[in-house]
A and B are shown apart, each in its own frame.
Chain A
Amino acid sequence: MRDVVVVGASAAGLAAAETLRREGFDGRLTLIGDEPGPPYDRPPLSKQLLAGDWEPERLRLRSDEALAALDARLIYGVRAVGLEPRRRQIRLSDRDQPLGYDGLVIATGVIARRLPFGHELAGVHVLRTLTDALALRDDLREARRVVVIGAGLLGAEAAAVARTMGRDVTLVDPVAQPMHHQFGPEIGAVVARLHLDHGVGLRMLTSVTGLAGAGGRVTGVHLDDGTLAPADVVLVAIGARPATAWLDGSGLALTDGVDCDQTCRAGDSIVAAGDVASWLDHETGRRIRVEHRSNATEQGMTAARTLLGSTLPFRPIPYFWSEQFGVRIQAYGTWTADARVRIVDGAPEAGRFTAVYESGGRVVGVLGWNAAREVRNLRKLLE
């Protein structure tokens, strides 16, 4: 293998590229990203960057020197628009000539989901890229009333930032509690309490039916109980979908992002990593796709090793964290809706606790609420 192309220049693609070099790959390496600049870190977009505490420079994943040391062709602002695995070629948005490879890493991430209406109005935002985050940040400076649609990780964090900036914030979601999908109803209720205590208006079990606007700018959000939540800024944080449109017709299986085997292999000399890639769990045979920061790095590393001939399965212990109103919530593991949660130490009222999620008689997840050291120790229950 003399010529590896990595499509996607964010955390997963960068980890794959660095791992290839670290493991001795000395052929030609090309890293292609559709965003205009060098790789940056996404978690701060809904935290320190949105709050104005950090500027974009702080989010850089690597310095210019570190990128130069990668000895790779770095192509920014260019999209992959097609893949022909039999010819081992990809097509790019900026040139007619296809680009050949003999090893391909797919790490194109996800695209923010949008509502079927209202995005033409000024003041309506999604939050996935640095450009998105800076636009939202600018708008929040002038905003009085903010409605966040979607109370998942991104929505809950952005709501907390906007509220901390002194804005009037309403968080809307059809689920019963914020972060219900991530944490379940019990811990979701603790997140709800946190937001209520800080003055966020919660409209749970509520769906959005439309957006109201005047003069081309959003003025409110129509809810399914017939009321209108007034807003001069709206964030739509209703999840994301894998960026696989460019792979349609390529012959790759795309049932959940890019379908990979246990080793992150998606096809002949093709691996995939990060938010875009699902893999078969070594133990359960279940297909898993994880949109967390740590997974991007770990999967990128495994995918690179697979491309270099490793046959070791990808067996992560998924980790993610969230920060809201100064509380840091951390979790390890993967659990489904049937898991039962049990607090093992501390208490929600005390503002510090740890909990375990159990399913089928075993621990499938651990969670810490302002309890970083403790949750790291609980992680061994998952090994």
Chain B
Amino acid sequence: MKILLDEEKCVGAGQCVLAAGDVFDQRDSDGIAVLLDEHPGQERSGAVETAAQLCPAQAIRIEKG
């Protein structure tokens, strides 16, 4: 699983951090999301999918495999 984060779309809502805090964090300066783990293991797929779905800016894409 590979995560693609569109920083320009991100609005810093932090929903991804709430859903999967071990995969996402937010920059101090402006709250834009940062990836802690670009290739999380399969066991994180549920949390990561929830993060992608809840992202109000639709800034997260998941590439399976």
Q: Which residues of A contact B (CB under 8 A)?
A: 15, 18, 22, 41, 43, 61, 293-294, 297-298, 301, 319, 321, 323, 328, 330, 370-373, 375-376, 379
Contacts and interface: CB of A to CB of B under 8 A. Distances in A.
Interface string B33-65: 000000000000000010001101110000000
A138 to B, nearest CB: 24
B32 to A, nearest CB: 8
Given A372-B26, A373-B31, A330 B53 contact: no
A376 B53 contact: no
A375 B11 CA distance: 13
Nearest to B33: A372
A15 B17 CA distance: 20
Given A297-B56, A373-B28, 19 more contacts: A15-B53, A18-B53, A41-B58, A43-B56, A43-B57, A294-B56, A301-B53, A319-B56, A328-B30, A328-B31, A330-B11, A372-B12, A372-B30, A372-B31, A373-B14, A373-B31, A376-B13, A376-B17, A376-B26
Interface residues of B, number: 19
Given A301-B53, A372-B26, A373-B26, A328 B12 contact: yes
5 A-B pairs with least C-beta separation: A372-B31, A372-B12, A376-B14, A294-B56, A293-B56
A325 to B, nearest CB: 15
Contacts of B30: 328, 370, 372
A111 to B, nearest CB: 22
B55 to A, nearest CB: 9
A371 B14 CA distance: 11
A346 to B, nearest CB: 14
Given A376-B17, A376-B26, A298 B54 contact: yes
B54 A297 contact: yes
A153 B17 CA distance: 26
- Of B11, B49, B56, B57, most buried by chain A (CB within 10 Å of CB) is B56
14 contacts: A41-B58, A43-B56, A61-B58, A294-B13, A294-B15, A297-B54, A319-B56, A321-B13, A328-B12, A373-B14, A373-B27, A375-B14, A376-B18, A376-B26
A381 to B, nearest CB: 14
